[in-house]
Amino acid sequence: MNGQSDKDITWVCHKCNQNLALKKVKVRYLEGNFEVELMKCTKCNMVYIGEDLALGKMLEVEKGLEDK
Ligand SMILES: [Zn+2]
């Protein structure tokens, strides 16, 4: 139960049509700096943030599920 199925998804940069690689990226959130692994295009260095990482949205999603 650790959500491994996410790793099976192949991410592709829509701009370069290049496969994304999992890279450690520094992220600033509130007062802190975090290092998280995000999908990054090795060609244009664009970082893709998954919807589950869109901070705050996660809680909304969980709530929605409970309401049903
Ligand atoms: Zn790219």
Q: What is the pLDDT along the chain (68 residues), one digit of tens a residue?
A: 555 555 566 789 989 999 999 888 877 777 777 787 888 899 998 887 766 655 555 445 455 666 65
In the reported structure, the alpha carbon of residue 64 is separated from the centroid of ligand 1 by a whole-number distance in angstroms of 34
pTM across the whole model: 0.52
State the CB neighbour count (10 A cutoff) for residue 43.
13
In the reported structure, the alpha carbon of residue 67 is separated from the centroid of ligand 1 by a whole-number distance in angstroms of 39
Residue with tokens 């700096």: 33
Convert 4-22 to b/e letters by CB count within 10 Å (16 or more is b). eeeeeeebebeeeeeebee
What is residue 38's predicted lDDT score, i.e. its pLDDT?
82
Q: Determine the Cα–Cα distance for residues 40 and 29; give it in Å rounded to an integer.
A: 19
- Quote the number of domains for the chain: 1
Tell me the residue range of the domain where 48 lies: 4-67
In the reported structure, the alpha carbon of residue 43 is separated from the centroid of ligand 1 by a whole-number distance in angstroms of 5
Helices (H), 1-68: 57-67
In the reported structure, the alpha carbon of residue 5 is separated from the centroid of ligand 1 by a whole-number distance in angstroms of 24
